[in-house]
Amino acid sequence: MKSSGDFDWSTVTAAATGSQGKLYRYAVAVETSAKLKADSSATTIAGVLNDPRSWTGSGDVRFALVAQSKADVKLYLASAATAAELCGSDGSVATSCTKGDVVVINAAGWKSGAAGYAGDKAGYRTYLINHAIGQLLGKGNASCAGKGKKAPVMMQQSGDLRGCTANPWP
């Protein structure tokens, strides 16, 4: 995927579910060279973050999709090269990173999925969102607890699942 460095910001909004917990206002931007639609991607992300199986299910946090000018958090779907730049990496960026109030998801993985998700692109996208937001929330990396067990969402699931089964939810 080429790196344009130019972004389209979503124009859709979605209210946070619930009234308890810390409110995060976020906006979604998609790198133009990724050839993804910003509003469609933002709607998918809002659906995941407002799902009770996501981080919001604990009641400790909630998420509202807002206009860029009102956002506390900016979530980018970006090419690998742009993701590396946004993450302050040397060019070999992981699938996602969080740097302060910036969350970056590598758009190539968003588009192609991962082997561990066996063609379940929606499941892999759900994992990418929950993993990246987990980083924002200060959650640390996790490991597989044993063969056949569900992978913790904070385990890197883009490659070898180390015997665990894919799991997109916290």
Residues 107-139: tens digit of each pLDDT: 988 998 888 898 899 999 999 999 999 999 999
- The H-or-E segment that residue 103 falls in is strand 102-106
Provide CATH code, domain 7-136: 3.40.390
Best CA proximity match to 46, nearest among 21, 24, 20: 24
Residues 66-97: tens digit of each pLDDT: 999 999 999 999 998 888 888 887 655 556 78
Asked if 41 and 22 touch (Cβ cutoff 8 Å), the reply is no
Domain ranges of the chain: 7-136
